Amino acid sequence: MCHPARRKATKRAMLQRAILESWMPSDRQSLPIVRSVASLGAALAAMRRPGERLALVATMGALHEGHLSLCRIAAERAPFVVVSIFVNPAQFAPHEDLATYPRNEANDVAMLAASGATKLVYAPTAGEMYPDGFATTVAPKGAAEGLETDFRPHFFAGVATVVTKLFAQVGPDFAIFGEKDYQQLQVIRQVVRDLDLTIDIVPGPTLREADGLALSSRNAYLDTRARKVAGSLNVIMRDTAVAVARGADIGDALSKGRAELSKAGFDSIDYLEIRDATTLRPVTDRALPKRILAAVRIAKTRLIDNMAV
């Protein structure tokens, strides 16, 4: 006669195996995908070894080599890498590109499977992330003030809220964020610090095309002419940064940089600024690390970039 506790444990193990098999892809080009908080918890319980370190790479999909490099950094830190794919409505204003944001989950998952670093894909639905009655927002200030916020006032509350939820749902030891979205990286570091979250935020360097254009999912919007112009953004930013590093007046260098951007063919410049690299406040001490940050528009595309000065 089987002991009731053993019978219960066997039943639980059988249930876990059945659940696991239901996410497991039939072909080896794919990865297990879970779409709810409950199945995420069950998948982690079934797939992760006790005490195994976990790293999260949070994405909105439309993956490119930049995201895969974040997964590789994640795998260097932790054997269990979870990639989340969620186009977060809360970080788009009504007039922005939520509806047209590039989505190709099958391709994303195939890329992650081929790159080998990822163990599990978490792709929740909007209803799962923001169920009826959802009414709490993480509203960061500090590093979130100015720059992007001057043009996308809703953006960092949307990002901070979804990232805090992802942290609570996935429970990572590490989370990797690209330096491409430098203000976002600083805001997330601040949220983690301010809310006493025990997660190591690890930055991933920006990957660039041959002409220096930072890899971005939104580069897919660029037509041939816009793509050509886009390549000059990093060149003008680098020239401006070099001038300041060599002692030029920051205001003068930025005015020259803005004029160069207009001449290169960008339709408008949201900002081209040099800021304290940690606080993102205007530079008061030139000896402290500085960052040049830009957001520009060409045709229907808004590009952002940044680099150390």
Residues serving a catalytic function are 67
60 binds ligand PAF (CB under 6 A): yes
Give the span between the Cα atoms of 197 and 191, in whole angstroms: 8
Q: Which residues pair with 275 in a beta bridge?
A: 282, 291
| Contact stretch for ligand PAF (CB under 6 A) within 44-52, 57-65, 269-277, 284-292 | 57-65
Give the span between the Cα atoms of 2 and 265, in whole angstroms: 77
- Output the smallest distance, CB 86 to ligand PAF, in A: 6
Burial class (CB in 10 A: 0-12, 13-18, 19+), 133: exposed
Q: Residues 283-302 vs ligand PAF: string with x where CB under 6 A?
A: --------------------
- Output the smallest distance, CB 152 to ligand PAF, in A: 11
146: its two tokens: 């100015």
For residues 163 and 56, the answer to whether their CB atoms sit within 8 Å is no
Beta carbon nearer to ligand PAF, 80 or 101: 101
> Under DSSP, is residue 288 helix (H, G, I), strand (E, B) or coil?
coil
Q: How many residues does the chain have?
A: 309
Give the span between the Cα atoms of 190 and 140, in whole angstroms: 8
Q: Residues 153-182 vs ligand PAF: string with x where CB under 6 A?
A: ------x--xx-----------------x-
88 binds ligand PAF (CB under 6 A): yes
In terms of phi and psi (left: phi > 0; alpha: psi -120 to 50; beta: otherwise), the region of 133 is left
Beta carbon nearer to ligand PAF, 162 or 283: 162
304 binds ligand PAF (CB under 6 A): no
240 binds ligand PAF (CB under 6 A): no
| Residues of this chain, 109-128, that bind ligand PAF according to CB under 6 A | none
For residues 56 and 82, the answer to whether their CB atoms sit within 8 Å is yes
- Output the smallest distance, CB 117 to ligand PAF, in A: 17
Beta carbon nearer to ligand PAF, 91 or 234: 91
User: Sheet harboring 54-59: ordered strands across?
Assistant: 33-34, 120-122, 80-85, 54-59, 174-178, 200-204
- Output the smallest distance, CB 217 to ligand PAF, in A: 8
Beta carbon nearer to ligand PAF, 179 or 273: 179
- Output the smallest distance, CB 69 to ligand PAF, in A: 14
- Output the smallest distance, CB 11 to ligand PAF, in A: 37
| Residues of this chain, 181-200, that bind ligand PAF according to CB under 6 A | 181, 184
272 binds ligand PAF (CB under 6 A): no
Which of 40, 44, 58, 176 forms a contact with ligand PAF (CB under 6 A)? 58
300: its two tokens: 């229907």
| Contact stretch for ligand PAF (CB under 6 A) within 55-63, 124-132, 263-271, 272-280 | 55-63
If binding means CB under 6 A, how many residues of this protein chain bind ligand PAF? 10
Which of 59, 164, 219, 301 forms a contact with ligand PAF (CB under 6 A)? 59
CA separation, residue 37 to residues 31, 108, 120, 166, 246 (Å) = 17, 21, 13, 10, 52
HEC profile of 121-188: EECCCHHHHCCCCCCCCCCCCHHHCCCHHHHCCCHHHHHHHHHHHHHHHHCCCEEEEEHHHHHHHHHH
Give the span between the Cα atoms of 193 and 186, in whole angstroms: 11
Residue ranges in contact with ligand PAF by CB under 6 A: 58-60, 88, 91, 159, 162-163, 181, 184
